[in-house]
Amino acid sequence: MAVSDTNSQFEEAMAMCRDIFEKKLKDYGASWRILRPESITDQIFIKAKRIRSLETKHCAMVDEGILPEFLAIVNYGLIGVIQLEKGASDTVDITPEEALALYDSVAEKATLLMKAKNHDYDEAWRGMRINSYTDFILTKIQRTKQIEDNCGQTCVSEGIDANYLDMVNYAVFGIIKLTEKQ
């Protein structure tokens, strides 16, 4: 497949995530504004651990598969970057329209990052297994937790926002691979 295919598939996957985000905004408002980044990291952890469990056990007791979990990781990762930029709030302090604008802005950052890395890595993600995306997301979560425990300080590593964006991109690759199979 060509890079243009990756770009269009990435945009389609991101559109699926945005659609879910927008619908949940209608149901719950921007209730996620109350979450501190550490709680978002833990929420992504829960989703990634469930994916790994399903990949290992090949059986689900809850009638939801791996795809919804990858979709959720994308949305929580984007929310995480928003929360890092705005700071958590004690109340819902933005409108759904403002939330969507923030979402779109961070989604664009993730898309630009994917395009830059995909250029440099030459479509390497296509040769990877879906369970590797899961493992890399779990690794990024552990790194993020360590940075959070260090009060956001790093010596030479990228920050929390970069880790969230990498998690988003790995999750989108998982979405692409899973939807290609369907």
Q: Tell me, what's the pLDDT at 63?
A: 79
Q: Tell me, what's the pLDDT at 64?
A: 85
Q: Per-residue confidence at 83, pLDDT binned at 50, 70, 90?
A: very high
Mean pLDDT of the chain: 96
Residue 60, classed as helix, strand or coil, is coil
- Is the Cβ–Cβ distance between 166 and 58 less than 8 Å? no
178: Cα separation from own chain's centroid: 15
Q: Tell me, what's the pLDDT at 62?
A: 84
Amino acid at 3: V
Q: Tell me, what's the pLDDT at 59?
A: 87
Q: Tell me, what's the pLDDT at 60?
A: 83
The mean pLDDT of 77-105, rounded to a whole number, is 98
The full 3-state SS of 66-130, as one line of letters, equals HHHHHHHHHHHHHHHHHHHHHCCCCCCCCCHHHHHHHHHHHHHHHHHHHHHHHHHHCCHHHHCCH
Would you state the structure tokens that stand for residue 87, as one six-digit string?
A: 């700071």
182 pLDDT more than 90: no
Residue 30, classed as helix, strand or coil, is coil
Q: 120-138: per-residue pLDDT in tens?
A: 999 999 999 999 999 999 9
The mean pLDDT of 37-64, rounded to a whole number, is 94
Higher per-residue confidence, 3 vs 122: 122
Q: Per-residue confidence at 61, pLDDT binned at 50, 70, 90?
A: confident
Q: What percent of the chain has pLDDT over 70?
A: 97
Whether the full predicted model's pTM is greater than 0.75, yes or no, is yes
Would you state the structure tokens that stand for residue 157, as one six-digit string?
A: 């590593």
Q: 139-159: per-residue pLDDT in tens?
A: 999 999 999 999 999 999 999
1 pLDDT more than 90: no
Long-range contacts of 168-171 (CB under 8 A, 24+ apart): 168/73, 168/74, 168/77, 168/78, 168/110, 169/110, 169/113, 169/114, 169/117, 170/133, 170/136, 170/137, 170/140, 171/70, 171/71, 171/73, 171/74, 171/77, 171/133, 171/137
d(CA 126, CA 43): 27
127 phi, psi to nearest 5 deg = -90, 0
Cα dihedral angle (177, 79, 18, 168), rounded to 10 degrees? Answer: -20
